[in-house]
Structure formats: C-alpha cells, structure tokens
Structure 1
Amino acid sequence: MFTNRRDVQIQWGDCDPANIVYYPRYFAMFDDSTSALFAAAGCSKRDLVHVYGLVGIPMVDTRAKFYIPSTYGDVITIESRIEKINRSSFEVIHKVTKDDALAIEAFETRVLVGRDPADPSKLKSAAVPAEIVEKFMRG
C-alpha cells in the first residue's frame, strides 16, 4: 500500500513539565499525518468534500504503543500507510522513528461519512470510492 513519510520537529507546546511530549499531542500529529497521506496519494481532504461529496473521515478507534520518548527540539519521522480498506472504513498505521529507532506504533480506524440522504441533518457511512482504493493500492 501507499506510504507517506514526514518529519516533525517537537515544539515547546508539545511537551509536559518533564519536557516529554504529552501523549495527546501525538494523536494530533497522527491526524495531520493521515491528512498528509491522503494529500500525497492525490486525494486531499478538500477532494473528499468537493469531489466525492463526503463530510469527512472521523476516527472511530485508535491506540498507540510508546517505546521511546521525545522531547523539545527532537525531530521524529512519522511513516503512515493504509493497512486495510473495508467497504466504508480503513485502517491506518503510523510508525514513528527517532534517530532510526522505533519510538511509537499507532493504529487508527476511520470511516468515510457523508450526509444521510433520508435526513441531511444526520451523517451516514459512505463506501470508499474505487478511485481512492486505487490510489492507495499503487504502493
């Protein structure tokens, strides 16, 4: 599957008083990395809305394993890839390295959603368009 890598420098505001990245900040980085993954594959979040008529790709499950801490000024590399695509959901794996060592493994499940045709005030899952599947299958 298609993979995207990006370097992230840890900022002062990412850290707790012990100068270690406060773990929820990583989940914001993973969210940005999923957006970057879609954009790098040629399908930005804007495309999801304007081309495919979707509302978004909310996260429905997430977890992470932390091995090595990061501190202010460190540069980490986040490698993101879609591991599995289902009818309306997909699974993303983020591997974070620091100085070439595995620092974090994170996993998320997201669902494509659009407006419910029967009640536009509600959201409803939407099938992953074949064009998007093709973009991520090219590896």
Structure 2
Amino acid sequence: MFNTDIKVRFNHVDFAGLVFYPRYFEMFNQVIEEWCEGQLGYDFQRLHEDLNAGVPVVHIDVDFKLPSRLGDVLTFALTVEKVGRSSISIVLEAVCDDEVRLKGNLTMVYIEKTGGGGINASEIPPELKQLMLET
C-alpha cells in the first residue's frame, strides 16, 4: 500500500467550501504520480520522455461517501488489486478524521508511443510490473 496526504485547498472547493468532485480526479492523478515516482522509481518524466510510455486511466468507478472541506487533510491509500499484461487495477481511498470520504476503483493501461504519433497498449516492463505487485 502507498499512502500520501493532500490538503484541501481553495482551488479544490466550490462556493460552499466543499471539494468539487472533478477535483478528486486531479487528486487521484497526483497520488498516482507520487506513487510512480516515490515507490516505483518511475516518475512521469521518465515514463513519458525516456520510455515514450504512460499509464492513462481508462476506467474510474467512485463512491463519494462524505464531503471534504477546505482545510481538510485527506490521506490517500493506493492499493494495487491486479496487474495484467498491460493493465493495472488499483483502489484509491481517501480518509480524513477516521472517516472514509471516497473510494475509487481505477483501471490504468500501460501505453507506448508508436511512430507517426500513435499509441498502443503495451506489455508492462517486467521490472516495473514487479514493483507494482509489491505495492
């Protein structure tokens, strides 16, 4: 499991001071970037520029359980559920004050750029796959 904290800031909230739900998706991306860099050793610069690869999200299923407010510190826990040939299934859960605020199931796909500007789902490199399985 990988954990990181995100403080709810003004740019995350609506007029009522509650997190505007699309901002959670930005937070999800931040957590994934921090996981790739901090735990896997594959920051997004290395993935995109050196390996011509990426891990875009292709499916999200989220349960919004309780609202989060300006100033809350959300602890996000990322758990890898399954790593396939080219897909990664993860669970992201945000907790604040011992309350689950939201839980998301995400599917990402390892992609590589091809000649001519295209992209294709590709097999996850063995070293990266092993690191993901250790999360």
TM-score, length-scaled by structure 2: 0.91
* Secondary structure in structure 2 of the residue aligned to 1:132: helix
**Counterpart contact for 1:78–1:96, Cα < 8 Å:** yes
**Counterpart contact for 1:57–1:111, Cα < 8 Å:** yes
Which runs of structure 2 are paired with 1:1-139 in the superposition (5 Å)?
A: 3-41=1-39, 42-51=41-50, 53-116=51-114, 119-139=115-135
**Counterpart contact for 1:5–1:77, Cα < 8 Å:** yes
Distance across 1 between alignment mates of 2:68 and 2:130:
35
Q: CA deviation at 1:18?
A: 1.4
**Counterpart contact for 2:57–2:108, Cα < 8 Å:** yes
Unaligned 5+ segments in structure 1 are: none
Q: CA deviation at 1:49?
A: 3.1
**Counterpart contact for 1:112–1:127, Cα < 8 Å:** yes
The percentage of aligned residue pairs carrying the same residue is: 25
Letter of the structure 2 residue corresponding to residue 47 of structure 1: R
TM-score, length-scaled by structure 1: 0.88
Please report the RMSD computed on the Cα atoms of aligned residues, expressed in angstroms.
1.5
Instruction: Indicate the structure with greater helix content.
Output: 2
